[in-house]
Amino acid sequence: MNVSENLKLQIVGQSMTDRVYDAILAMILKLEIRPCEKLSEVQLSKKLGVSRTPVREAFLRLENLGLLDIVPQRGTIVAPMRAAEFRKSQFMREAFELALVRRAVELEDNTELCKALDRELRLQSVHSELKDENAFFESDEAFHAAIAVHCGLADIWPEVQRVKMHMDRFRYAIRSQRETPTILEQHRNIAEAICKRDEAAALSAMTLHLRRANHLIADAAKEHPEYFEL
């Protein structure tokens, strides 16, 4: 298991269970813990520097999200990436984000939103040129979050993050095939349409962007068939 040394946990304004949950969730989404890998409460508690109780509680929460399979006689297994979960995740994310696009187009004053989107586009351009996919991914998240924040719906973004978990997991699996220049161009089209208040173009651009991963899944499954349940 590839777990960074800095994952030793301390309580800082958050319960230990929540911090353990967040750490294990991040490892699963980023494929630091591989699909179908067996997990050990004892091993993870030692890696994270915590007792077994918060690890056990985190396992139950992650099972409810469909990210872990707790199987009698076999133990706790990281769930394979399931196409059905991806489709559900994408459907819900699309519903949220298209609604946010409509709200963004209707803003009385979109100056600050357009500035925020332009800032992320500039960052993404640099990260793309440097081939820094981690930094590009963070700015990608910030780009989408900015739409919710500047629409006065910052509390919606954690819900979007929750429903898109399975999409994110698939996205990390196809990272080697991600074309950051293409994603950047799609972001530019989204931002331009929103800032011009062209609702039809903005909705079309966002839909195209959110459905981009569909045609890459089959290729990713061929590369790592052991990760997928299609």
CA 158 to chain centre: 11
Q: What is the 3-state secondary structure (H, E, C) of 148-211?
A: HHHCCCHHHHHHHHHHCHHHHHHHHHCHHHCCHHHHHHHHHHHHHHHHCCCHHHHHHHHHHHHC
Helix (H/G/I), strand (E/B), else coil: 228: strand
pLDDT of residue 176 exceeding 60: no
Predicted pLDDT at 196: 98
Which residues are paired to 102 by β-bridges? Answer: none
Written as six digits, the tokens of 54 are 């918060």
pLDDT of residue 1 exceeding 50: no
Instruction: Give the pLDDT confidence of 17-58 residue by residue, as tens digits.
Output: 899 999 999 999 988 999 999 999 999 999 999 999 999 999
Q: What is the pTM of this model?
A: 0.85
Please report, rounded to a whole number, the percentage of residues in the chain having pLDDT higher than 70.
92
Instruction: Give the pLDDT confidence of 116-130 residue by residue, as tens digits.
Output: 999 999 999 999 999
Predicted pLDDT at 170: 86
Averaged pLDDT for residues 152-180: 86
Nearest-CA neighbor of 43 among 31, 56, 30, 34?
56
* Contact predicate 39/77, CB 8 Å: yes
Predicted pLDDT at 179: 79
Written as six digits, the tokens of 77 are 């297994």
Number of alpha carbons in the 13 Å side-chain half-sphere of residue 206: 27
- Residue 75: its H or E element: strand 75-78
Instruction: Give the pLDDT confidence of 210-223 residue by residue, as tens digits.
Output: 998 887 787 778 88
pLDDT of residue 9 exceeding 60: no
pLDDT of residue 11 exceeding 90: no
Domains of the chain: 5-79 (1.10.10.10), 82-229 (1.20.120.530)
Instruction: Give the pLDDT confidence of 71-117 residue by residue, as tens digits.
Output: 888 899 999 999 899 999 999 999 999 999 999 999 999 999 999 99
